[in-house]
Structure 1
């Protein structure tokens, strides 16, 4: 971090990145997101990621879940299509993939990740259990497409890259590793860091109301939607991180940091978009 200038993510620089919606557009103009998420006892992760993805402008969304859990998603998110992890995934019409929230660490999920990296060459985001699978098999790093987005929290980052004594040390390591591995790293925390190729930003939005389960699942959905709409990986990560935090700040009008739920944050994404595009 000492060798590279780290800038601040603010509303003003996010405004320069967001593309206005074309009034004559149709759903085919805004990409097809695929979320590989959820599992027995963790379908909430899939629902949260899907809801955030749809609220962030993706044209179409398919969620890949275990067949036995399909009714949960079909009931909670009727706007989403479903595919099953037991089947071979068809990536031919997919614009971007987010994988990891709630998928677990079984043999089947490892196979799913390997299959994705083998057969899909588009924009990819890895979070949660996908990062844990990566930590258990470092050979998979070589199979990641360039500028893949990874979104670890501090514990996941240390699992991937070894222990770090402080937040500053972890940020320095993230900046160096993003260069070395040609990744976009979103290091989640009090001030989330977004870094790639020596270019780094710290978000100025967000609050401790996000320090709860489900927050990372929503961020996965937001960034995946932006990737599907054609934003470059680093740009999608910056916009997604800032909107996620800003929506949490907006949610404080009605909630406290103690009472805030991730559904409250997702419900405020519309206002976050409005404020950054005004």
Structure 2
């Protein structure tokens, strides 16, 4: 699913008005009606006191339409106009008059902190103060209004985006943003719903189709792509009947050290579970018996050093190499990694300590092959690209790094991002239980296993991140969040493939 920027959404509105020969007022009525229908479906006429806070622009106009429809259907609604400016949009004014014409109680004007209304926890709040058009800091009294709404702890539904959020940058005041119980957003998901700093303001997000021009949507390159099951399925490559292991490549996983052999074990196992035809682990001598015993399907090559890697010498040409898990940053290991990069011709997935070495020895970065995948956790990413002010600054710096070095960066998180130059892919699978030791090692193995089978690195990264999260989602059904181990993710990789093809259960048809 495409994620559009605020400017692209405004353009989509304009194109829709022209192509469908409708007015902006008609589009507003249709969009707001979609949200009313959701509210009405859930409340079913329940006598819940409703407070609708409306701004002065088109988001406020949406709120006024919703208020009017609620009143027409018998709900008890108090509508508040948040007077933060002298300006009002034309459609806001029209819907203001329409509401006044049918409401027994006219909208209440809010102009300062002295006007803050009483809200109870059992009430419902509709937040339609600001939309994606917010372009300046909020007035202090409006910030206090938002704090007042949040303090009530009522069920709060935000229209399009929680008020106080910008579409393309971090909020000015983290406390000046509505914490929405539910956000109903128009036509497209917004990137802010998936970033750690801004995603926290929406407990639940629902996208409603408001009928924007499909030709424009299909032909316009998205600001980002949201990756769910349908998108992941399009990347899947089925196996042919007469396949043999040689068709699916040879993955080499390099890493490990004394006390950290488990990281390579997880990666090798994951590469095989993902479908690599062959997999070999290159590890220090101390891990030989562990690997051969724990993963009998894998082959093992050992360094002559017992505790850490001092050289990387292989006598075959791997399809792909995953490197860095548990490898450490010993001086001899750094030298071995440097010499390895100088002669390597295989595709690469770089993780953990190999990233830390690159961050310190930046002269090695030009040695990376085209579309090398890097999989840093937040600390490793900071060492690699430097600190950032906020999530948007982080994305900007990752894009710059990716362009400079022609690499794919997997930014791990609750909604892992895959960034390649100016392209952003936002993953939707995964859960908090996956914040556990070894989860990243499993991901490295999955990505390596996909490239081994012939997936292009970018598609391997996008599909691999989804499968990794999906395996974790399937695993927690048995373990719960706290009980999830990285090895549980590995054991559910096969099921994550099967889940791609599972159709959602059919809803019963009412007579």
TM over 0.5: yes
- Size of the aligned set, in residue pairs, is 278
1:32 matched to 2:250: yes
Shift of 1:212: 1.0
Give the secondary structure class of the aligned counterpart of 2:313.
coil
Give the secondary structure class of the aligned counterpart of 2:282.
strand
Match for residue 53 of structure 1 among 271, 276, 287: 271
Range 199-208 or range 66-75, more displaced = 66-75
Q: Which residue of 2 aligns with 1:80?
A: 298
4+ runs of 1 displaced by more than 4 Å?
Answer: 1-4
Q: Which residue of 2 aligns with 1:144?
A: 368
Equivalents in 2 of 1:43, 1:88: separation in Å? 16
1:92 matched to 2:316: yes
1:154-173 aligned at under 5 Å gives the runs 154-173=378-397
Give the secondary structure class of the aligned counterpart of 2:477.
coil
Give the secondary structure class of the aligned counterpart of 1:217.
helix
Shift of 1:110: 1.2
Q: Which residue of 2 aligns with 1:22?
A: 240
Range 160-169 or range 63-72, more displaced = 160-169
Give the secondary structure class of the aligned counterpart of 1:185.
strand
Q: Which residue of 1 aligns with 2:437?
A: 213
Range 170-179 or range 156-165, more displaced = 170-179
Q: Is the 8 A contact 1:85 1:112 kept in 2?
A: no
Equivalents in 2 of 1:218, 1:68: separation in Å? 21
Q: Is the 8 A contact 1:91 1:120 kept in 2?
A: no
TM-score, normalisation: structure 1: 0.95
1:184 matched to 2:425: no
1:57-72 aligned at under 5 Å gives the runs 57-72=275-290
1:274 matched to 2:495: no
Give the secondary structure class of the aligned counterpart of 2:300.
strand
What is the CA deviation profile of residues 60-91 of structure 1, one whole-angstrom value per residue up to 9, with x for unaligned ones? 00100001321111111111101123365226
Match for residue 326 of structure 2 among 99, 102, 120: 102
Equivalents in 2 of 1:175, 1:201: separation in Å? 12
Give the secondary structure class of the aligned counterpart of 2:325.
coil
Using a 3 Å threshold, how does the CA distance of structure 1 residues 277 and 19 change in structure 2: closer, same or farther?
Answer: farther
Q: Which has the larger radius of gyration?
A: 2
Match for residue 337 of structure 2 among 99, 113, 126: 113
Q: Is the 8 A contact 1:131 1:152 kept in 2?
A: yes
Range 18-27 or range 58-67, more displaced = 18-27
Shift of 1:253: 1.2
Equivalents in 2 of 1:101, 1:145: separation in Å? 19
Equivalents in 1 of 2:322, 2:222: separation in Å? 29
Q: Which residue of 1 aligns with 2:423?
A: 199
**Structure 2 residues not aligned, in runs of 5+:** 6-167, 169-220, 305-310, 503-511
Range 123-132 or range 85-94, more displaced = 85-94
Shift of 1:116: 2.4
Using a 3 Å threshold, how does the CA distance of structure 1 residues 138 and 233 change in structure 2: closer, same or farther?
Answer: same
TM-score, normalisation: structure 2: 0.53
Tell me the C-alpha RMSD between the 2 structures: 1.7
Match for residue 44 of structure 1 among 251, 262, 266: 262
Equivalents in 1 of 2:242, 2:340: separation in Å? 33
Q: Which residue of 1 aligns with 2:482?
A: 258
Q: Which residue of 2 aligns with 1:246?
A: 470
Higher relative contact order, structure no. (Cα contacts within 8 Å, ≥ 6 residues apart): 1
